[in-house]
Amino acid sequence: MSLLFLNALKGLWQKKIQIIAIILLLAIATTLYVATNAAVSRVEEGYYDYLVEQNVEHFSFVPTLEKIDIDDLDLLDDKDLTDDEALTVQQARLCLPDDCDSQTMLFLRSIFSRYNLQVYLNKEEIDEIADEYGFIYELTKSKLRTDGNKYYKAVPYDEDRLINKPYLVSGDFPKADNEVAILSNYAQVNDLAIGDEYEVNEQKYEIVGTMFLSDYIYPIMTISTPFFDEENNNIFLMNEATYEKFSGTESKLFSARLDEEYEFRNRSYRKGPIFGEEGIMSEEAISMNTENFIRLMRVDTIQADIEPNKIFTNAFVNVLLAISAVIILIIVKKRIENEKNQVGILKAIGYSASAIASSYLVYPLIGVLFGCVLGYFAGVFLSEPLISVYVSYYNLPLPDYQITWEYFSRIFLLPLGLLAIVSFAVAFLMVKKPPLFLLKEGSNLKVNFLARSVNKILRRAAFRTRFKYSLAFRSFGKLLIVSLVSLFSGLLITLFMIGNGLFTEILDQTFGNMKFDHIVSYNTFLDDEAEEDDLFLNFENNISKMVAADGTEIDFEEEITVTLSGVDTPQYMKIVDEEENDLVPKLGDENIIISYRLAELNNLNKDDRLYFEINDEEHKFIIAGIYQDYFARTVFVDREYLSSLYGFEETVYNVKYSVDDKYRDTGAIDEDELDKIEGIFSIRELEENIKSEIEAFDYVIYIITTFAAVMAFIIMLVIANVIVEENRKNISLMKVLGYKNREIGDIILNIYTPFIIFAYLISIPIMINLVKFILDYLAEDIGFVIPVQISIFQGVVGLIAILIAYYLGIGFSRRVLNKISLSEALKRE
Amino acid sequence: MQEIILERVNKIYQVENKSFYALCDVSLSIKKGEIVTVLGPSGSGKTTLLNVVSGLDRVSSGAIYYDEKNIVKFSDRHLTNHRRLKSGFIFQNYNLLEYLNVKENILIGSYVAQNKIDIADLINVVGLEKHQTKSVYQLSGGEQQRVSIARAVAKNPEVLFCDEPTGALDEEMGKNVLDKLVEINEKMGTTIILVTHNPGIAEIGDRVIKMNSGKIFSDEINKRKNPHDIEWA
């Protein structure tokens, strides 16, 4: 037995290219798995423990503005109301609770919202809801201040808090006035230490601690900065008195935690009654606004990030492992074919089939021993930069890196087991034949039906053509192997091309259509015509029904909330389709333009219809175009028409897209307008913020897809080597007969080229549809759709790459072959 | 081609830092149309001689002239071209392309020829007309060797190099194969260099060269015998 192993091991040395390829394939698969998993699993473990230990909120809410009582108007008594606001309040005192028109109520709600009074509404009803659904809640407040591209958020520290307890990294929590505890990441990046003086808005504070805020795991500061910038974004805790003095825009809402032990890991609380079909949105006393959704993102994003990463990593590694198994299968099969006589002799002298087959386990053993170990260390090395990319996104303590049994078995035992089973099975099936059969000269080939048919079809063709194709088709198995392997390689190369620079391209397209600098939203409806800006009338609304152009209703399970945006002729916002055609002229009564994201997620097409409930009436809109935006949930309609539907006599707006520099600095805005502004959203800041973070995503995808391309390359080298090896005798013979290298190439080695090209061409649509399927599946979680396509140029480049790999493999293998003398090569094996 | 001349040809192998002479100072000349048989025991250097004369292998020193051109100095490409135009090969183990049928195996020889001969005639000469569409594995050893002969002859070579062509055959099959070789020599004037360890087979040649330890120790003119009359050792 040990001699058989020794024999197999020595034989292995003769097939250096093949074993090196197996080692590299396993090393790449293991590297990817270890690198991504070491990062993901550490973050994941830390995350779930943290949610429980810090009592992180399950959700947050605000009291609804739908239920403003006449008594609630007293809350506005001490506010410095404008004349319009005072008039509205006066009207409301006369018409509340039941007789107010919709316009008065709209204004009244915007006043409550503007003065941050929402949290004082509906107290009793909220308590009833909390009892019914079993949750506790407490007030959460913060103040946001911006200074250029720097964002500061002040949060009052209360050691008796039940929900969202802050996590102290070092030092102490602030007790005295003007003491602060700041974000740990911010302190690190900005080189701040405990005891340092820290100045914001000309007010000096003393840093007494560094911490994480448990409701800011993914610390989105505002909707303008969806990605955390650890250098410029800081959150600090301070005592209540210091907080009161801090100057900034205040936000107040309620954080809630369900009484029962809901599992964060599978988000079971989201399936609970309050998030069920009847949903929190339908409760009359409480609702969720944009800030509440942002808060969900702060806690949830990490999970939405981890899950697809885990799925992708595992799936991708399994694919790589499967490819390695197929390659091992091919190599073992070819090797036994070459050693058929030797195996026959071993069987003739009494070795059992299983003993001989076992000797071929050297392939998986050597592959795993070298490949997986190499891959493990490379993965650990690569995981460090990946972890730092992850950690820079999230604010939470991380456990130390540990090798678990599951981890060990996934890295070493699974590949070893799988590859060993494949190797043994194929070897056993081949060597179990009787010794005389194995000792017989030749391969006992029969001319199959396919070969006969090809011969008939090509009977009038030149000899060379007939020769090539009859040679190719006589071994259908070989043809299948070459085609399958080329298909695998094509899939990996296509993946590389799809993934390369994908996000950057999407962002360039999306932001390329936005020529404005700021989105200014107002807390009231304006009717002046500011011609230098683009004006919009925006309402959040739910799609109530979707009907296809042929009249069949389109099913949708979850509520689809969109921003219904009234627009007329924007100068700075390009609303264009795939071919860059301006879609705005298509807007008219009942016409609607939807985003690519909405269309893709819901299979909507031009001429389909969307229905919205506006002022208790259902209105139909016909889709007149689909504009190129992969993130937006905004749909555009004619502004004048939308104003009339909401009951405005004139064309009004509540959002403005502007290039005016004054919106960079709130001090430059006149007081009257400032009073009406609800928020200013810097589109350039958003672009910069997203792009800087997306670069990291692109980097990760680039690494993964480059590995895929390298694997494709290795696979093609292996298959080329196998082809040369198994034609070794034929090549030598043809050289003896006087065939030139070019002729041998044409007749023997290049016969698979058409099949490689064909397999590659098939692989493109397969991979595109596969990636599309996965991304569509993930689109709901990641919040945007990704267009999956490759250009003809990319397709051609991929084809050239795959052929280069193949011919390089052939060239390399032939160089080795050329070193063997012809007389030696033709000796009986 | 007038003749093949070997001048002081040596072929040395290095085995464990020791030089081993597979051919030692070998000189000879072979005339056009001759059947030359090389006889010797295993390890005597006869196959090495055949390999270097045919251009399958390189010499360590010495010269081999074909039409006054020293093929020792040929590049690999040039040597390939030389084999393509002038040489045919027949091996003990046939070396047929297993994926091709009988006719295709013969055509693979004909395809590179400048002076092709009629394949149908050739198939008749070697007696394979009934087997031409069969796979080679369906043939007996003798039949496979006849395919190998037909393939070698298909390109109408000036010299046919035969390395133990009957080594794997029984007497009857072997004699038939030899008969075909003699027939080809007589009909086409092809020079034949045949290596064998069987003294009986050596009798079909016009000259019998005897080798041992890499040296020629006898080179004698012989009166050809009909292959069917030889003693099969």
Write down the ipTM of this complex. Answer: 0.72
Burial environment of residue A720 by CB neighbours within 10 A (0 to 12, 13 to 18, 19 or more): buried
Residue B231 near residue B171, CB atoms below 8 Å = no
* Residues 165-224 in B contacting A (C-alpha not used; CB under 8 Å): none
Q: Which residues of A touch B112 (CB under 8 A)?
A: 737-739, 743
What's the rounded Cα separation, in Å, for the pair A67 and A112? 11
Higher pLDDT, A576 or A270: A576
Which of A438, A447, A736, A824 to mutate to test binding with chain B, by most B CBs within 10 Å of its CB?
A: A736
Q: Does pLDDT of A699 surpass 80?
A: no
Choice between A8 and A160, residue whose per-residue pLDDT is larger: A160
What are the distances in angstroms from CA A516 to CA A6, A291, A519, A585? 73, 24, 8, 20
The pLDDT mean for chain A works out to 80
Is B60's pLDDT higher than 90? yes
- Is residue A238 very low, low, confident or very high in pLDDT (cuts 50, 70, 90)? very high
Q: What angle do CA B200, B201, B205 make, to 5 degrees?
A: 115
pLDDT band with cut points at 50, 70 and 90 for residue A829: very low
Answer whether B233 touches A (CB < 8 Å).
no
Summarize pLDDT for A762-790 with one digit per residue, the tens: 999 998 888 878 777 766 655 566 777 78
Mean pLDDT over each residue of chain B, to the nearest integer = 87
Taking the C-alpha atoms of residue A254 and residue A247, their distance in angstroms, rounded to an integer, is: 21
Q: Are A601 and A671 in contact (CB under 8 A)?
A: no
Per residue in A130-175, pLDDT (tens digit) is: 888 888 899 999 988 877 777 888 999 998 999 999 999 999 999 9
The backbone torsions φ and ψ at residue A58, rounded to the nearest 5 degrees and listed phi first, read -85, -35
- Whether A378 has a pLDDT exceeding 50, the answer reads yes
Q: In this complex, is the C-beta atom of B80 within 8 Å of any C-beta atom belonging to chain A?
A: yes
pLDDT of A365 over the 80 cut: yes
Q: pLDDT digit string (tens) for A16-60? A: 777 888 888 888 888 888 887 777 777 788 888 888 888 888 888
Q: What is the DSSP letter of A555?
A: P
Q: B108 CB near a chain A CB, below 8 Å?
A: yes
Q: Which residues of A touch B151 (CB under 8 A)?
A: 737
Dump pLDDT digits (tens) for A171-192.
999 999 999 999 988 898 899 9
The whole-number pLDDT of residue A715 equals: 79
Angle between helices A683-726 and A476-499 (to 10 degrees): 160
Average pLDDT of the segment spanning A305-315: 73
Determine, for residues A737 and B89 on separate chains, whether the beta-carbon distance falls below 8 Å. yes
Please provide the DSSP assignment of A648-680 as one string: -SS--EEEEEE--GGGGSGGGS-HHHHHHEEEE
Residue of A nearest to B113 (CA): A738
Q: How confident is the model at residue B119 (pLDDT cuts 50, 70, 90)?
A: confident
A814 vs B: CB within 8 A: no
Contact assignment for B99 to A823 by CB distance below 8 Å = no
B85 contact A CB<8A: yes
Separation between Cα atoms, residue A747 and residue A467, nearest integer Å: 7
Q: Collect contacts of A190-193 with beta carbons under 8 A, ≥24 apart.
A: A190/A231
pLDDT tens for residues B66-92?
Answer: 988 999 999 888 887 888 888 888 888
Quote the pLDDT of residue B145: 85
CA angle centred on A215, ends A209 and A216, rounded to 5°: 70
Instruction: Encode chain B in three state secondary structure.
Output: CCEEEEEEEEEEEEECCEEEEEEEEEEEEEECCCEEEEECCCCCCHHHHHHHHHCCCCCCEEEEEECCEEHHHCCHHHHHHHHHHHEEEECCCCCCCCCCEHHHHHHHHHCCCCCCCCHHHHHHHCCCCCCCCCEHHHCCHHHHHHHHHHHHHHCCCCEEEEECCCCCCCHHHHHHHHHHHHHHHHHHCCEEEEEECCHHHHCCCCEEEEEECCEEEEEEECCCCCHHHCCCC
- Report the relative pairing of strands A534-547 and A653-658 from DSSP bridges: antiparallel
Domain spans in chain A, listed from the N-terminal domain onward: 1-58+287-440, 63-134+272-283, 137-259, 475-503+684-829, 518-659
Q: Is A738 helix (H, G, I), strand (E, B) or coil?
A: coil
